Structure 1
Amino acid sequence: MIFGKDKTNYQAFDTVLRMIHVKILLASPNFHQPRGNTVTVQRIADSLAKLTIDTEIISTTEKEWTSLPEADLVHGFHAYHFYKFMQSLDKKPEPYIVTITGTDLNHDLFDENKREDVFASLRGAAAIHVFDDKAKSVITNELPDVEDKVFTIAQGNSDFPEEIPPVEKEENSFLFVLPAGIRKIKNVPAAIQMMENLHEKFPTVRLWLVGPIIEEEEGKTVQELVRQHDWIQYLGQVPHSTMGSIYQRADVVINTSHSEGQPSALIEAMGYGIPVLVSNNPGNQSIVTHQKTGFVYSSPNEFLDYSEQIINNNEIKQKIGQQAKQYIIEHHSNTYEANAFVTIYKNIMK
């Protein structure tokens, strides 16, 4: 079943769903670090609260656990980390649902040292949540016996308060924003190199990098590159609530990752009508349709070509941005997302 794409999927929801009084334990890796999983889990918790569902969030990687807080159902995020977390418990949660995020789908599933743990995590789950149908195909191709319990629920969008950004956009500049934790998989040095070539041709171009340093060596590399260019600013870690003010000042939001799950930052930026320029990987493509809701590049030359199109043609910039915004409204409602989870929770707990 697909949730989050068609409003008719929700016509069966009624007030009974909203009156379920249960507690869901959301278990996420690295929850206290500002990563994509953290944004996703907090958004789901906030949306469930609006449906009178109690939640508690715990981090599965930042302390030792032997027992869990009381809850009616445990919802784990990241199949591999959640499985390793369960091994530390005196009693494994039963039942549980697991969400496939990104690294577990694109890397751990095919890592000979982690693959069997991912399989065990999925086989033990009462339901498996993926963000898009391509992810579902990957899972069912690798593990056909779990096909009947895999559900596709598209990510919802975040709501942001009105806040002042940490820095202001320079007057008469054209601003690219890259929201990403600094680690190798995010490919930030390559982004800077491509932006260097773009800046040579368009000196008004500016780049903001937004996100914490997650891998120390990669952080040193990125910071050294930033020091070499006065048109690049590394804003570092900012509160997630501030991101709305950053998107509002961006002309383009970029994603240069080698692989992704379904990046919440792109959903957020597109929700503001900002055109996005993203690397060609399945996670990005689950949101961005080339030249319709954004631009998808496969080489540095394509990155430069599409950047020039956006810079030189305001009509294209506005059209792509508005189509992106409409797509997010129609396919990534956090209300639909929460209702879909409630339906799955209810079915598991019958």
Structure 2
Amino acid sequence: MDIEIPFGVIFGGTDINEDVKVEQKRVVMEQVLLKARFAVAFTDKLKEEAELFLVSQSSKIYIQPQGIQTDVTEKFCWTEFLRSSGVRTEHVDELRVFLLVCGLRRVKDPLYLVEVFSKWHCENLLNVLVIIGPKIDPVLSAEVETVVKRTAGVFLAQERCQQELHAAMKRCFAVVNSSVSEGMSAAILEAIDLGVPVLARNIPGNAAVVQHEVTGLLYSSPQEFVHQSQRLLSDHELRERVVRNGKLYVEERHGVKQERETYQRLVDTLH
């Protein structure tokens, strides 16, 4: 708020979905937006939510979806990645690895699927869930570590650089999102771009990206997650369709060229 040079702001998702509910944070956001030359929202829905609290500043809010450009390192060993995460099996190539990519903080709800997934794993030991992401909330991170250690079929991987993360995503069976709220999940877009099916919690931010049975699968409960996962395992046509449609969607809507041009135009307003 004390900055003296012109600036713009970008809504990440948690700010509009969660932080506006806290009076002290909302007041700060309003004051910042009064000074900002522009604000960027990733989706129409995010802009609408912002306008509910910041109506007088609505003309400043532009919509620009995230651009995605994936990068996979060739120096990546899938077996080593799984073993370092605690997965012990001689049948690595037979595993169906569901990769939950998220920073360990409450809004990402990393433990949402753990109990039900573990029961499913016990019915078929080839189904495993690996949680990977930075430890943002120390208290929650400790809780996740404790729960995972005592839960069959669920593992916690150390944070990796983007190239290695993308390589792991490309090798997994499906990428999972279990967030309470999202602005626009980069992990979902990256998975789609890499040709990996996505199973995402049915919340507005995810539904803006994932069209059910078209570009991915949505679920509204842990039980429905298992049901949709079973469909993905048994219906090869469904899997191929969501992968194909998803790739086309990302190419059309989330290119870095359009994103770059939008931000260059907005930055020009700061001069």
Q: Same fold (TM over 0.5)?
A: yes
2:18 corresponds to: 107
2:42 corresponds to: 131
1:201 corresponds to: 123
Identical amino acids, percent of aligned pairs: 27
2:100 corresponds to: 178
Q: How far, CA to CA, are the matches of 1:251 and 1:238 in structure 2?
A: 19
1:160 corresponds to: 71
Contact kept? 1:160, 1:243, Cα under 8 Å: no
> When the two structures are superposed, what TM-score results if normalisation uses the length of structure 2?
0.90
The 3 A distance-change label for structure 1 pair 209 and 328 is same
2:7 corresponds to: 96
Residue type of the partner of 1:109?
Answer: V
Q: How far, CA to CA, are the matches of 1:283 and 1:213 in structure 2?
A: 22
Are 1:145 and 2:67 counterparts? Answer: no
Are 1:331 and 2:253 counterparts? Answer: yes
Structure 1's unaligned 5+ residue stretches are 1-85
Contact kept? 1:207, 1:232, Cα under 8 Å: yes
Q: How far, CA to CA, are the matches of 1:258 and 1:179 in structure 2?
A: 14
Cα distance, 1:230 vs structure 2: 5.4
Residue type of the partner of 1:111?
Answer: V
Give SS of 1:266's match: helix
Residue type of the partner of 2:207?
Answer: Q
Cα distance, 1:167 vs structure 2: 4.0
2:30 corresponds to: 119
1:38 corresponds to: none
Q: How far, CA to CA, are the matches of 2:4 and 2:233 in structure 1?
A: 52
2:235 corresponds to: 313
Q: How many residues were matched structurally?
A: 260
Residue type of the partner of 2:194?
Answer: Y
Contact kept? 2:184, 2:205, Cα under 8 Å: yes
Contact kept? 1:131, 1:262, Cα under 8 Å: yes
| Equivalent of 2:138 in 188, 191, 216 | 216
Contact kept? 2:210, 2:217, Cα under 8 Å: yes
Contact kept? 2:122, 2:152, Cα under 8 Å: no
Residue type of the partner of 2:183?
Answer: G
1:67 corresponds to: none
Contact kept? 1:252, 1:275, Cα under 8 Å: yes
Cα distance, 1:202 vs structure 2: 2.9
Give SS of 1:171's match: helix
Q: How far, CA to CA, are the matches of 1:146 and 1:263 in structure 2?
A: 25
1:81 corresponds to: none
- The alignment yields a C-alpha RMSD, in angstroms, of 1.6
Structure 2's unaligned 5+ residue stretches are 83-91
Q: How far, CA to CA, are the matches of 1:123 and 1:202 in structure 2?
A: 55
Give SS of 1:129's match: strand
Residue type of the partner of 1:185?
Answer: V
Residue type of the partner of 1:254?
Answer: V
Cα distance, 1:143 vs structure 2: 1.7
- Which has the higher relative contact order, 1 or 2, with Cα contacts under 8 A spaced 6 or more apart? 2
Contact kept? 1:259, 1:281, Cα under 8 Å: yes
Cα distance, 1:192 vs structure 2: 1.5
Contact kept? 2:33, 2:39, Cα under 8 Å: yes
Residue type of the partner of 2:43?
Answer: D
Give SS of 1:189's match: coil
Contact kept? 2:47, 2:61, Cα under 8 Å: yes
Q: How far, CA to CA, are the matches of 1:267 and 1:340 in structure 2?
A: 19
Q: Which moved more, 1:154-163 or 1:267-276?
A: 154-163
The 3 A distance-change label for structure 1 pair 332 and 276 is same
Contact kept? 1:175, 1:208, Cα under 8 Å: yes
Structure with a larger share of its residues in helix: 2
Contact kept? 2:102, 2:108, Cα under 8 Å: yes
Residue type of the partner of 2:50?
Answer: I
Residue type of the partner of 1:289?
Answer: Q
Cα distance, 1:201 vs structure 2: 3.3
Deviations 1:260-315 (A, max 9, x none): 12111111001011111111222212211111111111112211211110111122
